[in-house]
C-alpha cells in the first residue's frame, strides 16, 4: 500500500511458523478477517489457516495454453495447406506430427504471457515509488501477521497477540 493511506492495523512478529499458525487460527476464531501473513519461506497449512480459496490462476494458464496451441496449429495448417501449399515428398498438407513442436511451443508462450498478465492484474501490482515496508527484516527471519482492526480495537488485539506468543507487536495506525 502507498504511504498516502494505510488502514489501521496491527503487525505481530512471531519466532516460528507454529506460533504464527496458532495465532492465525485464534484470531480468525475471534472473527477477524482480511488477515495477511509474511513468512521467509512457504509454510504448510497457512492458506487454510488464513481461509484462502483456491486460486483461479491454474484455470487461466490451462485455458490460455489450449488457446495458444489452437492458434499455433491453425496458423501452421493455414500456412501449409491454403496460403502456400507445397507438396514435399508426398506428405499431406496438414501433417499433424510435424506440427506438434510449434503447437506445443505456441501454447506454452501464450499460457506464460497470459499467466504473468493475470498475476499482475490479480495482485494489483503496479509501480509504487513511495512504498515503505512494514518492517525491513520481516521476511528475512521473522514471521509476521497483519491484522486489520478498527481504531478502538488496537489495544485488545495487541494484548491478544502477545498472549499468543508474539515476540513484538506494532500498531500500524
Same domain assignment for residues 96 and 70? yes
Q: Per-residue confidence at 2, pLDDT binned at 50, 70, 90? A: very low
Same domain, 72 and 88: yes
Distance CA 121, CA 126 (A): 9
- Provide the domain count of the chain: 2
- Domain residue limits at 48: 9-52+138-171
Checking if the pLDDT of 83 tops 50, the result is yes
Residue 119 has pLDDT above 50, yes or no: yes
Rg of the Cα trace of the chain?
Answer: 25
User: For residue 132, how far is the Cα from the chain centroid?
Assistant: 21
Domain identity same for 99 and 84: yes
What is the model's pTM? 0.71
Amino acid at each position: 500500500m502507498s504511504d498516502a493511506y494505510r488502514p489501521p492495523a496491527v503487525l505481530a512478529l512471531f519466532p516460528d511458523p507454529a506460533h504464527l499458525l496458532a495465532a492465525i487460527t485464534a484470531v480468525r476464531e475471534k472473527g477477524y478477517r482480511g488477515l495477511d501473513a509474511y513468512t521467509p519461506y512457504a509454510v504448510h497449512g497457512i492458506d487454510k489457516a488464513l481461509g484462502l480459496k483456491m486460486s483461479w490462476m491454474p484455470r487461466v494458464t490451462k485455458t490460455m495454453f489450449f488457446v495458444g496451441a489452437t492458434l499455433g496449429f491453425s496458423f501452421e495448417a493455414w500456412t501449409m495447406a491454403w496460403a502456400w501449399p507445397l507438396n514435399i515428398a508426398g506428405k499431406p498438407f496438414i501433417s499433424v506430427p510435424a506440427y506438434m513442436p510449434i503447437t506445443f511451443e505456441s501454447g506454452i508462450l501464450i499460457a506464460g504471457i497470459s499467466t504473468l498478465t493475470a498475476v499482475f492484474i490479480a495482485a494489483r501490482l503496479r509501480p509504487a515509488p513511495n512504498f515503505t515496508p512494514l518492517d525491513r527484516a520481516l521476511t528475512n527471519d521473522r514471521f509476521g501477521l497483519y491484522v486489520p482492526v478498527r481504531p478502538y480495537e488496537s489495544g485488545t488485539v495487541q494484548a491478544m497477540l502477545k498472549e499468543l506468543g508474539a515476540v513484538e507487536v506494532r500498531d500500524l495506525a
